Amino acid sequence: MTDHEASDMELEREVLVIEEEEDPFLQFIDYAKSVLSPDKDYGDDRKGPSWSWIASRILRTCIAYSSGVTSAILLSDLFQAWHELNRSGAPKKQSECISQMKKKHKRAKLPNTVTIDSIYEKKFLSLNSVIEAVIIDTYILPGTNIYMLHLGDFWSSNTIDLYLHRRFYSLADPKYGVLKKGREVFLTGCRLRTATGGSGHARLLPTEYLVILLDEDQNDDAMLLLAQFCADCFSSISLDRVYQGVSYSLRARIESITSLEVQGKYGSLQRKQINLVDDDDVSSKFILWGEQVLLANLFSMGSTLALDRPFISSSTDSALETSEELCLEYGSATQLYMVPFIRHEEQVSVALTQNHHKGSKQSRALDPSQGVVVSQVSLPCNSQGSVDFSNCPFRSFVVDLREKMTGISLYGVVADIISNQESVLSVMIQDVTGAVWARLHFARSWSFGRLGLGHTIYITGLTCSVGTRKSLELRWVENDVGASFINISCLPALLNSSCLHKLSCLSDLSAEPAGTWICRVWLDQIQHCHVTTRLSHTSCGYFLDDGSSEDLKCNFCQRKCNAELARNFHLKITLADESGKLFAWCTGQTAVELLQITPDEFCELPEEEQIMYPSSLEHETFKVALVNCRKKVEGLKDHHDITAWEVTRAMKCE
């Protein structure tokens, strides 16, 4: 590399740094973090929210409020969500057994966990919610033979009663049952019966989806595991004996959890596949069908699952594409126990990269001889020994990536795209510290709308490892817990949320900077406006090649799309403001907003009116989002070599 090239790269890096310093979205995250984080001066030892949690929550709110958000809406939602997540309850009102168990409780909450206090507050409980409960008492409803569980949790001062499902009655026996005072259970698929009139308190209706937690350090639990679940193993299962009525009790480690969708004659059916490995390193599949997939919310990778009397079938009968002969299912007599995986924390040195990008004056004042500022943080490790960064208090940058990192979140722009498989897309993500390739694996195919070069994205749930070429590789799986992908440049709420953007002049874009820029412009030089309509794939918004082939294939997401076609505009137009002019292109709903007519309506106009139509829009004023899209996309013919700017959102100014 020549000195001239090196200086150009350094100049480009400095420009990116200055852009990030002025990014209102990042500034609002920092502001929200300062508001929500506890005041250390007053001795508060609670942890504040992580950078990625705040970013994800803000974007989730923007998606919910598509017409725009205010700082008050965002801060209110953040405060309420964080308060709910960290509710501690009133210890003086908690059961004595919960207070004692709380002292040694080290397990992290499951993703969908709700507290009993929140159930009473909201008077609502969704089916996929998880309740991590402790049994305070087991009793029979007076005058009936109905078993009830009186439940509490570690975070609530309230308690709630559950009508126990009859499949668990044998486990609630007063003498020999395991469902007794002090036992932890996980529940999901619960329905709430609210209190009405004089009927007393709210109660939980029976659910079939209950997992009993065991503690190997407790003698009774260790003896139960040894006596009931050590005689059988996967290799000892015989289909012939199963057909003769023999049942098995099996114990194995949860290796992974994957989601599948089965297409049937009358529609699709959800399916979860839990991959298990026993003590002999023999693997098997535990399959959940339909509503049973709710059970997967109770499992965590690395935990030990004990299955008493699972339904056993051949892989052929279960329509599984696997080399294994047998698979396990959740039958009517199946009982589930689990020894949860306790994630041990590891002291990780996090280079505070953001210190180098906070304020231009500070960036220039940094003394290189002082080295990079490093902070020690405790982060949990998963069952594979990878450090989980999903709750890291700081933002992650490309330069911070190392081997065996998981739960990574990145905020940056799309620098390149390669699409050569239907369900896999490779995206180069660039931030102020560098760029990295990420392989995105989808359940079926691309499902996040239009994505183009220069678009600002936020992605969570990335895993970093060293590949075969000894280089870092990022992997993302759509259905993994914590995985999300948000195209900020195309968010409908962006233009109407002044707290998350600032208005720029077109002259500010002369250096072709990265990121998403919001400008107030009018349409100019209409004589140079170029309007065409073309067929595009509705899932991803990319245009299709002109041709008469019966099987049309999308060049972007690599799937046949005959049934997913729509006619869209391809618009090239000049935008202007007081500071200058800019030639840009757009498609989809953005082009409809600018032209104020749909493609179908436009095509119905006579040819002369189509030619004259754009002139009626001259000097109309819009607020637009602009991104630089100069680089070509490999494998696509949708190039815009001359038109370097794309309008990703547009809104007419009244």
Listed residue (204, 149, 153, 205) closest to 181, CA to CA: 149
Q: Identify the DSSP state of 107.
A: P
The answer to whether residues 453 and 643 touch, using CB atoms and an 8 Å cutoff, is no
The answer to whether residues 54 and 78 touch, using CB atoms and an 8 Å cutoff, is yes
How much is the pLDDT for 356? 46
607 three-state secondary structure: helix
How much is the pLDDT for 230? 86
Instruction: Enumerate the CATH 2.40.50.550 domain ranges in the chain, comma separated.
Output: 107-213
Q: CATH assignment of 107-213, given 3.40.50.300, 2.40.50.550, 2.40.110.10, 2.40.30.170?
A: 2.40.50.550
**Residue 232 to residues 74, 242, 246, 251: CA-CA distances in angstroms?**
53, 13, 12, 8
Region label for 123, one of left (φ > 0), alpha (ψ between -120 and 50) or beta (otherwise): left
Q: What percent of the chain has pLDDT over 90?
A: 41
Listed residue (253, 333, 233, 327) closest to 288, CA to CA: 327
CA distance 175 to 177: 6
Max mean pLDDT range (138-142, 236-240, 487-491)? 487-491
| Across 197-209, average pLDDT | 79
Tell me: pLDDT of 2 over 80: no
**Residue 335 to residues 152, 253, 306, 609: CA-CA distances in angstroms?**
22, 16, 8, 71
Q: Which two tokens stand for residue 137?
A: 């008492």
Q: Which two tokens stand for residue 204?
A: 């939980």
The answer to whether residues 321 and 273 touch, using CB atoms and an 8 Å cutoff, is no
How much is the pLDDT for 512? 62
Q: Identify the DSSP state of 396.
A: -
Q: Report the relative pairing of strands 184-188 and 210-213 from DSSP bridges.
A: antiparallel
In terms of pLDDT, which residue wins out, 511 or 440? 440
CA distance 400 to 561: 39
| Across 415-440, average pLDDT | 89
In terms of pLDDT, which residue wins out, 411 or 43? 411
CA distance 204 to 129: 12
In terms of pLDDT, which residue wins out, 450 or 317? 450
Which residue's entry shows tokens 């029976």?
206
Task: Report the range of poorest mean pLDDT among 229-243, 387-401, 550-564.
Answer: 550-564
* Phi/psi of residue 58, nearest 5 degrees: -60, -45
Grade residue 476 by pLDDT with cuts at 50, 70 and 90. Answer: very high
Tell me the one-letter amino acid at 183.
Answer: R
| Across 521-540, average pLDDT | 84
**What's the whole-model pTM score?**
0.71
| Across 41-66, average pLDDT | 81
Tell me: pLDDT of 222 over 70: yes
Say how many Å lie between the first and final Cα of the chain, rounded: 52
CA dihedral (123, 125, 130, 134) in degrees, to 10, reads 40
How much is the pLDDT for 63? 93
Q: What percent of the chain has pLDDT over 70?
A: 82
Convert the pLDDT of each residue in 316-375 to its tens digit: 665 555 556 788 999 999 999 999 988 776 667 666 555 444 433 333 333 444 445 566
Tell me the one-letter amino acid at 359.
Answer: G
Tell me: pLDDT of 10 over 60: no
Grade residue 630 by pLDDT with cuts at 50, 70 and 90. Answer: confident
The answer to whether residues 119 and 125 touch, using CB atoms and an 8 Å cutoff, is yes
How much is the pLDDT for 58? 96
Q: Which CATH superfamily is domain 497-652 in?
A: Nucleic acid-binding proteins (2.40.50.140)
Tell me: pLDDT of 561 over 80: no
Burial of 371: CB neighbours in 10 Å, binned 0-12, 13-18, 19+: exposed
Tell me: pLDDT of 98 over 70: yes
How much is the pLDDT for 324? 65
Listed residue (305, 406, 300, 433) closest to 346, CA to CA: 406
CA distance 551 to 231: 55
Q: In sequence order, which residues have a C-beta less than 8 Å from that of residue 639 and are 6 or more positions away?
A: 632, 633
| Across 99-126, average pLDDT | 83
How much is the pLDDT for 613? 87
Distance of alpha carbon 510 from the chain centroid: 35
Q: What is the mean pLDDT of the chain?
A: 82
Convert the pLDDT of each residue in 292-305 to its tens digit: 999 999 999 889 99
Alpha helix ranges (H) inside 37-70? 51-64
**Residue 92 to residues 88, 89, 95, 96, 132: CA-CA distances in angstroms?**
11, 9, 8, 9, 20
How much is the pLDDT for 17? 54
Q: Which two tokens stand for residue 223?
A: 């003896």
Q: Provide CATH code, domain 350-490.
A: 2.40.50.140
The answer to whether residues 577 and 521 touch, using CB atoms and an 8 Å cutoff, is yes
How much is the pLDDT for 361? 35
Q: Identify the DSSP state of 301.
A: T
The answer to whether residues 487 and 9 touch, using CB atoms and an 8 Å cutoff, is no
Grade residue 196 by pLDDT with cuts at 50, 70 and 90. Answer: low
Alpha helix ranges (H) inside 476-598? 588-595
Q: Compute the Cα dihedral for 117, 304, 463, 381 and give only its sign.
A: positive
Instruction: Enumerate the CATH 2.40.50.140 domain ranges in the chain, comma separated.
Output: 219-339, 350-490, 497-652
How much is the pLDDT for 91? 43
The answer to whether residues 382 and 108 touch, using CB atoms and an 8 Å cutoff, is no
In terms of pLDDT, which residue wins out, 550 or 521? 521
Q: Compute the Cα dihedral for 106, 111, 112, 117 and give only its sign.
A: positive
Grade residue 410 by pLDDT with cuts at 50, 70 and 90. Answer: very high
Q: Top-level CATH class of 219-339? A: mainly beta
| Across 542-550, average pLDDT | 66
Q: Which two tokens stand for residue 457?
A: 């994205």
How much is the pLDDT for 318? 59
How much is the pLDDT for 357? 47
Task: Report the range of poorest mean pLDDT among 245-259, 353-367, 502-516.
Answer: 353-367
